[in-house]
Every structure is written in C-alpha cells, then in structure tokens.
Amino acid sequence: MKSFASDLKRIYKANTQDDAWEQLDAFDSKWGRKYPAAVKSWRDNWNELTSFFQYPYEMRSLIYTTNAIEGFNRQLRKVTKTRTVFPTDDSLLKLLFLAMRDITAKWYDKPHNWGLIISQLMICFPDRISDEDFA
C-alpha cells in the first residue's frame, strides 16, 4: 500500500499543474483498475483539488500537508488509549484539555523556509499580511 500513497503524493507534489495531470495519468494506469473511485474523484474534482498550484511550492507544502493535525490527533489518542474507562464525561474532557495544553506548549518551531514563506504570503496577500505583523 505504501506504493499507492507514494504514487498519489507525486500528483500533489508535482512542480506544475500540467505535471500533476501527467502524474494522475500515470497513477490511473497503475492503480485505476484497483481503485477506480479514487481516480474518478481526482478527475471529477481536479480544479478544486489542484487550486493550490497557484501558490509557490513552499506555500503549497503548508497547504496540502496534514502532518501537524495527524500528530496532534496521534498524541491525543496516545493519552486516551491507556485508559479504558472514564468515570464521567468531565474526566475525559479534563484529560483531553490537559493533554492539549501540554501538546500545544511545544509548538514553537517554525516550518522549514519560514522566512521565504512569509515573504511569499506578503506578496500573495498584501491586504492581509504585512511587515508590521512580524516586527
């Protein structure tokens, strides 16, 4: 299955939308018989799924990645997995609140190429972000 995921990544990690379309064709020829619904979904929703190609590559990687969300959910599951029963709903909420507080306290690292990404955001969205926001 790892090959399926890596072949799918080639589509959204392509340099241009035309390259991505070629990768989709390659994906279709390799996986289309086994997963026709996946290929059909990509083709039917192509414009929506590839709208991030209008941004520079560094910004695109922030848009399409879900690593931060997946990591956050994994850490919450880790906290709740060891406990099989919670006496009350409030006890579960308290545990999740404390876990979220600990998890978010570690969020201080900036993404790779953050300076470049901020510059690109200021160019793409001059009315939303400016130098003063980061002074």
The set of residues, in sequence order, having a beta carbon less than 8 Å from that of 75 and lying 6+ positions away, is 99, 103
Rounded Cα gap, residues 39 and 45, in angstroms = 10
pLDDT at 2: 64
The set of residues, in sequence order, having a beta carbon less than 8 Å from that of 31 and lying 6+ positions away, is 4, 7, 38, 39
The predicted model gives 30-59 an average pLDDT of: 90
Q: Is pLDDT at 83 greater than 90 in this prediction? A: no
For residue range 54-75, list pLDDT tens digits in order.
888 888 877 776 677 888 899 9
Q: What is the pTM assigned to this prediction?
A: 0.60
pLDDT at 4: 87
Q: Is pLDDT at 1 greater than 60 in this prediction? A: no
Give whichever of 37-41, 114-118, 121-125 has the largest mean pLDDT. 37-41
pLDDT more than 70, % of the chain? 94
The pLDDT mean for the chain works out to 86
DSSP string, 69-117: HHHHHHHHHHHHHT----SSHHHHHHHHHHHHHHHHHTTTPPPTTHHHH
Residues listed for the chain: 135
